[in-house]
A = this chain, B = another copy of it.
Amino acid sequence: MNNALYFQSGGVTAVIGATAAALIEAHRQVSPGRLFAAEHGLSGLMNAQLVDATALPESMRLALSHVPGGGLGSGRTLLMPYDENPQQWEQVRDVLVRHQIGTIYVNGGNGSMDTAAKLVELSDRFYLDLKVIGLPKTIDNDLEGTDASPGFGSALKYLSVSLMEAARDHCAMATKPSVFIMEVMGRHTGWLASCGAVARLPEAVASPLMLFPEVDFEPAHFVRAIRQRFETQHAVVCVVSEGIHTADGRFYAQQNVAAKYGHEQLGGAGLAVAELLRTELGIKVHVAIPDYMQRAARHLASATDIAQAEAVARHAIVLAQSGQTGLMVNIVRESDAPYRWHCAAVALTDIANRERSLPRDWINQAHYTLRPEALAYLRPLIAGEISLPWSEGLPEYPWVEWPKIA
């Protein structure tokens, strides 16, 4: 059982390819076994859709390190409790045994870390002597036990820059009261909406109004806040988390736009807020919905985020080599300014399925802003610009061709 397996689980990021590429390199340096990768997450593992990452040519590995989306394929299938689906466990076991896999690297968020924890149970149940290491990844930044999750810093940088740029456009056009809304991802947590505080905006805009899922959205109060802004400015900017909800716990998007379509997919909170403002204030509202663009914008990735995405991979190899299991690599902050950090580890069972919210006391709900202490945490995560290979006006994002298992 001296081979290893890597898979990605949950929504991908702009820098998850950097984690994969660093893991491959670090594995080669220390292990004589193969490193396989499962396409499309746990379902790829169950169906033995495996590729040989160890055999990836170096030029492809370097390309992998900078393609958005990870170049492998992620998936949303999770490992169920054994009692509910023993067949799923047996399928996983059979693939592990057949391919002599003794180490699994799970690159994902809090749901995926629960799957990683269950893989430890699977190892015990089937006497496999399997080592399981989690690698953090999520643009939502809602993983417990780590200073930040790789993917978040780059998404935050992209949204902050986008907001700065769109706000300048909005200022140039605002000859009367009008609102620009940017709807950001975040079903349950408002980390990405904090871009409204991170962005450096002109005084003419003042601070954007931010709507977070951590607090109840009160439409009438919000309309009053916007009306108040119009007493001193024309161009108002808002950042709306897709997951904002009213006091009854219902998603605001689903009460409005999305509900008309009768489907569950979120997205549309920004449109619903726009409609509220148009109806109540009779103003013009523009809405941007970056959607996948915010988690794929590798051209604006944070150098700090990339450094952490690579570091968690190297540390995962160190942990596995020293025989440890049941851990997720985390990032530990040593200081804010200068930002110093190192990698360590937390028990999977301590963080699986938990959700880290934006601290409630950072939110100034009366003014829809964040208190300054939030910035000390956030700013280091977007630091540093990267370069990409470009040709004919476009970045080089080659398609990663994975070697089949020999």
Contact = CB atoms under 8 A, between A and B. Distances in A.
Interface of A: 8, 11-12, 14, 40, 43, 67-76, 157, 160-162, 164-166, 168-173, 175, 180, 198-200, 202-204, 257, 260-261, 263, 265, 267, 271, 275, 278, 284-293, 295-300, 302, 304, 379, 382-385, 390, 392-395, 397, 399
A74 B172 CA distance: 6
Nearest to A398: B202
Contacts of A8: 172
Nearest to A205: B399
From A180, A296, A385, name the one whose CB has the most chain B CB atoms within 10 angstroms: A296
B180 A292 contact: yes
A69 B267 CA distance: 27
Nearest to A289: B289
A38 B111 CA distance: 56
A290 B287 contact: no
A261 B288 contact: no
Given A172-B69, A173-B12, A164 B288 contact: no
Given A287-B291, A393-B382, A203 B399 contact: yes
A353 B336 CA distance: 56
B166 A296 contact: yes
12 contacts: A8-B172, A67-B168, A73-B173, A157-B394, A160-B394, A161-B395, A166-B296, A168-B397, A260-B260, A271-B271, A286-B292, A287-B291
